[in-house]
Structure 1
């Protein structure tokens, strides 16, 4: 089950990269479109008539952030109960908590744009937590018994 845990942790980290790439594509496409004379206003957004290279990035970012990332975070947390190594549940719990905060920030940043800064910072935190969890799941278990021949404690492999 450690392998499932590790794969889910890496997938969660990969989704953070996908999210960053999608929103960058969308914003660069939008600014290029505006610089070339495009106009964006509330009516254009509501009519969905605004089309530019990168508009799909907004859709990818929104759907990934509200569906895929939370689903992976929940599966990661569930898998942590079966991974059976020290810290598995704590790392997955931290990742899941960051996902919950991330989704909430993504929703509330539409009302309070300054929360977008925290949205980006929490994404980086999620990336780090997911990568650390994946690495910890790959580490060999430290021997817990004394060496039979010497009576000394065996040193953990590093």
Structure 2
């Protein structure tokens, strides 16, 4: 289960990178489109008629952040109870709580854009939590490791 824990932790970290890439693609695409004469208003946003390179980045960021990332975080938390090494549940719990707060910030940032600052900063916190958790899972020696083998070696 430790290997599954490690894989889920790395997947969570990878998802942070995907999220950052998707939103950057979307914003840079939108900026280039506007600089080229495109106009974005509420009607355009609601009509889905606006088309520019990167528009799919908004969809990827939204769907990934509200569906895929929370599922991975939940699986990570469940697996942590079976990983059986010190700190496994704490790191997975921290990741899960961070994801819950991230989703809430993503939703509420549409009404209060300054919350977007926290949303972006907390993404980096989630990245660090996931990477540290994966590293902790790698650093713990296996229960059937060399310690037992060394103790049973014959003594001459």
The two structures have a TM-score, normalised by structure 2, of 0.91
- Count of residue pairs the alignment pairs up: 146
1:31 positional shift: 0.2
1:81 positional shift: 0.2
8 Å Cα contact 1:69-1:99 kept in structure 2: yes
* Residue of structure 2 in register with 1:52 after alignment: 52
* Residue of structure 2 in register with 1:28 after alignment: 28
Call closer, same or farther: CA 1:142–1:47 in 2, change over 3 Å.
closer
How far apart in 2 are the matches of 1:74 and 1:17?
19
How far apart in 1 are the matches of 2:62 and 2:109?
13
How far apart in 1 are the matches of 2:122 and 2:104?
11
- Map Cα deviations across residues 17-68 of structure 1 (whole Å, 9 max, x no partner): 0000000000000000000000000000000000000000000000000000
8 Å Cα contact 2:85-2:140 kept in structure 1: no
* Residue of structure 2 in register with 1:67 after alignment: 67
Is 1:106 the counterpart of 2:106 in the alignment?
Answer: yes
1:141 positional shift: 3.0
* Residue of structure 2 in register with 1:135 after alignment: 135
1:142 positional shift: 8.8
* Residue of structure 1 in register with 2:2 after alignment: 2
8 Å Cα contact 1:88-1:137 kept in structure 2: yes
| Gap regions ≥5 residues in structure 1 | 149-158
More helix as a share of residues: 2
| Gap regions ≥5 residues in structure 2 | 152-156
1:87 positional shift: 0.2
The runs of 4+ residues in structure 1 deviating greater than 6 Å are: none
How far apart in 2 are the matches of 1:37 and 1:124?
34
* Residue of structure 2 in register with 1:39 after alignment: 39
